[in-house]
Structure 1
Amino acid sequence: MTTVVFFLMPGVHLLDLAGPAQVFSTAADFGQPYDLAYVAESPTVVSGQGLPLTADTAWPPLGPDDLVVVPGRRAPTVDAVLAAPVGDPVLAALRGHHARGGTVASVCAGADVLGRAGLLDGRRCTTHHDVQEDLARRWPRATVVRDVLFTSDDRIVTSAGIASGIDLALHLVAVRHGPAFAARVARDMVVYARRNGHEPQTSAMLRHRSHLDDVVHRVQNLLDERFAEALPLTGLARAAGVGERTLTRLFTRATGGLTPLRYQQALRLERAEHLIAHGSTVEAAARAVGFEDPRMLRRLRARAESAV
């Protein structure tokens, strides 16, 4: 059983908390062993949106496989947002969990609490765009990364603002259980497959999801989950209950010009770029995303670079 502890500060943003909590709760519904816990310095915490929340004041036992998440908070000023009233015992708990091999994450301005615990020193991090400069000034030994949704550095995972906590949590689920499982969780939450924090803040999985064609969405769901497999047009059309020519016509119209094959290639390319950015060779990344010949991946990368 993996315990996910959410530390709640006064004024906690509901979506900072609810987004990641929903991801791990949905993962548990699908059979993964997650147990969610909520800890605060007082038994009642009033959220930034005025909703009172109850929490435990004692931390549960935590091991290396467990996760602590610090959501951000709402306050009248930037200084107040970054000066959340958090005591030394909480900071010691965060440091101790990380020192024992555990993962510590933050959403939005929750990154400042990690900074006070000494966990941002020498590491990459991010936060909401409104407080990025202030966070960088407060913790000059950290590298604050702009214009990403989340960063991960030595089991310190930080995300930008509000809804990006969902991206952070889906990333952690994908790392632990694979991208296909994360895509299943995302689809159940009606966010489909989400963006990656180390890549531009748009992706094929989002750019081509703004349409209302249920047939195309069903095919995209299949491609999102099984993009590394060989998925002939015949099988996709059969799964969608339409003919091949009809599927191609509907898909191209809904996605602004992409065929199912080009959409699948875009998914493979984005995943391969993520793997390469994390130290994989082009050959290994090509195999991981389903290309039998790495030359195909090289051609797609060259085509994407020339289009920039």
Structure 2
Amino acid sequence: MLRTVAVPLLDPTASFELGVLCEVFGIDRTEQGVPAFDYRVCGEHPGRPVRTTSGYAVVADHGFDVLADADLIALPASTNHADHPPQLLEALRAAFDRGAWVMSVCSGAFVLGAAGLLDGRRCTTHWRLTDELAAAYPQAVVEPDVLYVEDGRVLTSAGTAAGIDAALHLVRRELGSGVAATIARRMVVPPQRDGGQRQYVETPVPRCDADTLQPVLAWAVERLHEDLGVERLAREAVLSQRTFARRFRAETGTTPHSWVTGQRVLLARRLLEDTDLSVDEVARRSGLGTAAMLRHHFAAVVGTTPVGYRRTFRQTA
């Protein structure tokens, strides 16, 4: 049962991610039927201020000794990805061995990696850090497209607000959906979000540095609603289909079909964000044809549905 929650402060600690853990586990909501958590903020040097990434300091009342009987050790993010107190790493390994949960928010995953708890496990972190995490801990299976990953009793989340999703997931798993929904209502957040990190990644318009195909790419972007098969693209480039396909891959790193599909999904994202067009009309204007085809390609590229994406990112006209 999830009762004792310990949060080690890293130097420096990311204040928002620390606040997420405080909000979910550190507030007394017993009057609403939420079980009370024994919430402990701890540090290597209790009573000594610890810097935050937001320009102020916080103080932990407890030392790392309180990690010894915690049901959950939850690590907030930090810009320190390599230099971690040995006592903390040992406490994490001991907690996992005795059956406790260990959890990270955003870059807190680097501490779990340093403790050896990501080896052979699926995990995640902020999408900007997934390559760094994979390089630092090559035995970890880093998944860049998810909001959180549970593997055994190791729970890792993506950036910032994804820590809320992971924490509520753990509450739901250990204490039931009713408790998780009560906490979510108080926080004014959905109990469970759809999709993954891909929908939050900024996707620039791909460019081709070589000048041989750049005019053709620019021409194609203006005609995404039309038939843009290899035959037509090659004709516009005044090349044979075989030569065009070979040069296209050499200059863009992908196939003409994949590039066009990616551009069409990118246009669909913008239409969903900026207009009130129906999903069918978005599919037509972006060149994906039908709503079914739009949903298929959108899920493959973005990791969510067109309707779910619009609900999250719709801009005010």
Q: Fold-level match, TM-score > 0.5?
A: yes
2:13 corresponds to which residue? 12
In structure 1, the partner of 2:173 is: 175
Cα distance in 1 between the residues matched to 2:293 and 2:166: 27
CA deviation string 1:127-181 (max 9, x = no partner): 0111110100111111000121110001000001111111111011110122232
29, 32, 43: which one aligns with 2:35: 32
Looking at structure 2, the residues matched to 305 and 104 of structure 1 have their Cα atoms a distance apart, in angstroms, of: 40
Alignment partner for residue 160 of structure 2, among 159, 162, 166? 162
Q: Give the CA RMSD over aligned residues.
A: 2.7
Pairwise CA distance, 1:192: 3.0
Give the 3-state SS of the residue equivalent to 1:53 in structure 2. Answer: strand
After TM superposition, the runs of 4+ consecutive aligned structure 1 residues lying more than 6 A away are 303-306
TM-score (norm 2): 0.58
**Matched residue SS, 1:96:** helix
- Residue in 2 that maps onto 1:260: none
Deviation at 1:59, TM superposition (A): 2.1
CA–CA distance in 1 between the matches of 2:28 and 2:111? 27
Shift of 1:193: 2.3
User: Take 2:162 and 2:120, find their aligned partners in 1: how far apart are those partners?
Assistant: 23
How many percent of aligned residue pairs carry the same amino acid?
38
Conserved 8 A contact 1:182-1:193: yes
Q: Size of the alignment, in residue pairs?
A: 202
Distance in 1 (CA, whole Å) between partners of 2:11 and 2:152 is 28
* Residues 203-218 of structure 1: pairs in structure 2 closer than 5 A: none
1:59 counterpart (45, 62, 65) = 65
The one-letter code of the counterpart of 1:69 is: A
Distance 1:61 1:201, change over 3 A: closer
- Letter aligned with residue 33 of structure 1: A
Is 52-61 or 91-100 further displaced after alignment? 52-61
Alignment-mate amino acid for residue 179 of structure 2: F
Instruction: Please name the residue that 2:131 is paired with.
Output: 133
Are the aligned partners of 2:77 and 2:105 in contact in 1 as well (CA < 8 Å)?
Answer: yes
Where does residue 192 of structure 2 map in the other structure?
Answer: 194
1:20-44 per-position Cα deviation (integer Å, ceiling 9, x unaligned): 2201234744331311101111232
- In the superposition, relative to structure 1, how do residues 61 and 157 fare at CA in structure 2: closer, same or farther (>3 Å)? closer
Q: Which amino acid aligns with 2:190?
A: Y
TM superposition score normalised by structure 1: 0.60
How is 1:71-86 mapped onto 2 (pairs within 5 angstroms)?
71-74=76-79, 81-83=80-82, 85-86=83-84
Deviation at 1:122, TM superposition (A): 0.6
The offset of 1:67, in angstroms, is 0.2
Alignment of 1:41 onto 2:44 = yes
Unaligned 5+ segments in structure 1 are: 75-80, 204-255, 258-302
- CA shift, 1:188, in A, is 0.9
Encode CA deviations 1:78-118: one digit per residue, 9 max, x unaligned: xxx422x3121110000000000000000111101101100
Q: Secondary structure at the match of 2:65?
A: coil
Distance 2:294 2:53 in 1: 46
Aligned partner of 2:26: which letter?
S
Cross-structure match for 1:150: 148
Shift of the 143–46 alpha-carbon distance from structure 1 to 2, 3 Å rule, reads: same
Could you say which residue in structure 2 is the equivalent of 1:216?
Answer: none
CA distance in 1, matches of 2:90, 2:129: 24
